[in-house]
């Protein structure tokens, strides 16, 4: 059982399994452009790099391509229209959130996903009103791995950073948490890129499956 006064999460690949809707939007777009859809296994880990990573994998173009931004915006429009069709909490996460709420421990989100998309998916999943804070790149000058967003979240919930836990599935999450002075947990169940070893990110704890998080946090 860990001692903490607030629990903060990354969003995509940590709290929510958003990959199915990201991939669905990409495949709809690929078909629109006369291309073959991709199997989920081929692009799931790219979700951690957002729309840019998915466009690079799906279309084989880089951000300096003349049509990159046009294709990326078309993708984002497709995603926004269906961003909660298949998205859900990872297994065990509802139990973690419910226990936090039962124990009056504020929980929140610090993500690099823009507010437009974060707020929409959280609202559709009835989570926006439960979170004590939701910090997106729109709210800070410097997103993760800079600790600015982490510190803003802690300030909003009036909890010292040293008393916060942060859970994330990317090295930038752990780096940001460490820089902010928080206790960090690497989420091994997330969208870990090929060749990455989440247990080597210098997080305070590593949890391989989402349904194991409750035990680490609350079991004596």
Backbone angles phi, psi at 135, to 5 degrees: -110, 125
- Where along the chain do its domains lie? 6-17+87-218, 19-81
pTM of the model: 0.95
Q: Which residue has the tokens 């777009």?
A: 29
In the predicted model, is pLDDT for residue 190 greater than 90?
A: yes
Q: Mean pLDDT over residues 180-208, rounded?
A: 96
pLDDT above 70 covers a percentage of the chain that reads: 100
Q: What pLDDT score was predicted for residue 187?
A: 98
- All residues at 6 or more sequence positions from 64 whose CB lies less than 8 Å from its CB, including other chains: none
Reported confidence tier of residue 194, pLDDT bands at 50, 70, 90: confident
Residues annotated as part of the active site? 10, 12
Q: What pLDDT score was predicted for residue 48?
A: 87
Reported confidence tier of residue 92, pLDDT bands at 50, 70, 90: very high
The Cα 171–Cα 174 span in angstroms is 5
What is the tens place of the pLDDT at every residue in 157-168? 999 999 999 999
The class that CATH gives domain 6-17+87-218 is alpha beta
Please list the residues that pair with 166 across neighbouring strands: 8, 184
Q: Mean pLDDT over residues 106-126, rounded?
A: 98
The Cα 85–Cα 117 span in angstroms is 13
The Cα 207–Cα 188 span in angstroms is 6
Give the β-pairing of 6-9 and 88-89: unpaired
In the predicted model, is pLDDT for residue 19 greater than 80?
A: yes
The Cα 209–Cα 72 span in angstroms is 32
The Cα 197–Cα 77 span in angstroms is 33
């Amino acid at each position: 059982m860990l001692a903490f006064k607030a629990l903060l999460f990354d969003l995509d690949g940590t709290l929510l399994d958003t990959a199915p809707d990201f991939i669905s939007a990409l495949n709809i777009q690929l078909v629109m452009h006369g291309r073959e859809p991709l199997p989920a296994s081929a692009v799931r880990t790219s979700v951690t790099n957002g729309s840019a990573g998915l466009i690079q994998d799906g279309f084989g173009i880089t951000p300096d391509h003349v049509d990159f931004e046009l294709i990326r915006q078309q993708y984002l429009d497709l995603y926004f229209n269906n961003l909660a069709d298949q998205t859900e909490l990872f297994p065990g996460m509802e139990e973690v959130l419910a226990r936090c709420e039962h124990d009056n421990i504020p929980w929140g989100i610090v993500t690099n996903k823009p507010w437009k998309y974060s707020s929409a998916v959280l609202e559709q999943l009835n989570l926006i009103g439960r979170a004590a804070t939701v910090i997106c790149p729109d709210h800070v000058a410097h997103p993760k791995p800079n600790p600015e967003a982490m510190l803003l979240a802690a300030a909003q919930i009036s909890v010292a950073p040293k008393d916060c836990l942060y859970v994330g599935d990317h090295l930038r999450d752990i780096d940001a948490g460490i820089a902010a002075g928080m206790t960090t947990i690497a989420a091994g169940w997330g969208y870990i890129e090929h060749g990455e070893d989440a247990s080597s990110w210098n997080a305070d704890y590593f949890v391989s499956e989402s349904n194991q998080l409750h035990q680490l946090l609350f079991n004596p």
